[in-house]
Structure 1
Amino acid sequence: MERDLAKTAKYFNLTRPALIKLMREKGLINEKNLPTYPSRDREYLRAKDGQWWHPELGMQYSQSTRVKQAGLPWLAEQLGLEMPAIPADRRDVA
């Protein structure tokens, strides 16, 4: 499972701009919000390529950062954030 930066920020109870600021300060993402070291951090972050057709401008391309599942505890450690508590599993309650 991968999360975009907005969902990752929500996971840590932050705003997207606050998460981006912390990640930039630590050198994890660059000015385009893409991983600064894609090879080194490939287990945790990746750049997702996107494209769409615009009727007047033709094919448009974009890139965005995705945080992998293994990247959540890594990111918490890198940024000094606390991992949210895992909710109790109530499926076995009768």
Structure 2
Amino acid sequence: MERTLAQAATQLGLTRPQLIALMQEKGLLNERRLPAYPTRDHEYLRVKDGQWYHGKYGLQYSQSIRIKQAGIRWLADQLGIDLPAIPADRRDVA
């Protein structure tokens, strides 16, 4: 499962602008708010390519960042954020 910056920020107990600022401060994002090291961090972060049609300007392209499932814990470690412990799954208890 992949998350947007806003979804990841919520899971880390931050707002989206706070997460972006921390990631830029730590050198994880470049000036375009994309991964600064896409090859190194490919297991945790991904660039999502998008496109849409604009009536006046034609086909438009965009890129945004997605945080992979493994990236949440990695991001917390990189940013020095303590994540709450994952609750035990009690569905198997008889």
TM-score by length of 2: 0.89
Higher alpha-carbon deviation: 78-87 or 62-71: 78-87
The DSSP-based 3-state class of the residue aligned with 1:70 is: helix
Match of 1:34 in 2: 34
**Percent same amino acid at aligned positions?**
67
CA distance in structure 1 between the aligned counterparts of 2:39 and 2:90, rounded to whole angstroms: 40
Once the two structures are TM-superposed, the CA of residue 66 in structure 1 deviates from its matched residue by 0.6
CA distance in structure 2 between the aligned counterparts of 1:76 and 1:45, rounded to whole angstroms: 13
> Is 1:79–2:75 an aligned residue pair?
no
Q: Which amino acid aligns with 1:58?
A: G
CA distance in structure 1 between the aligned counterparts of 2:82 and 2:54, rounded to whole angstroms: 41
CA RMSD of aligned residues (A): 1.6
Structure 2 unpaired stretches of 5+ = none
CA distance in structure 1 between the aligned counterparts of 2:62 and 2:6, rounded to whole angstroms: 16
Once the two structures are TM-superposed, the CA of residue 56 in structure 1 deviates from its matched residue by 1.4
Which 4+ residue blocks in structure 1 deviate beyond 3 angstroms?
Answer: 84-92
Q: How many residues were matched structurally? A: 93
CA distance in structure 2 between the aligned counterparts of 1:46 and 1:15, rounded to whole angstroms: 20
CA distance in structure 2 between the aligned counterparts of 1:85 and 1:4, rounded to whole angstroms: 22
The DSSP-based 3-state class of the residue aligned with 1:3 is: coil
Contact 1:12 1:84 (C-alpha < 8 Å) held by counterparts = no
Structure 1 unpaired stretches of 5+ = none
CA deviations on 1:36-78 (whole Å, 9 max, x unpaired) are: 0000000000111000111111101000011000101100100
The structure with the greater share of residues assigned to strand is: 1
Q: How does 1:1-94 map to 2 (within 5 A)?
A: 1-86=1-86
TM-score by length of 1: 0.89
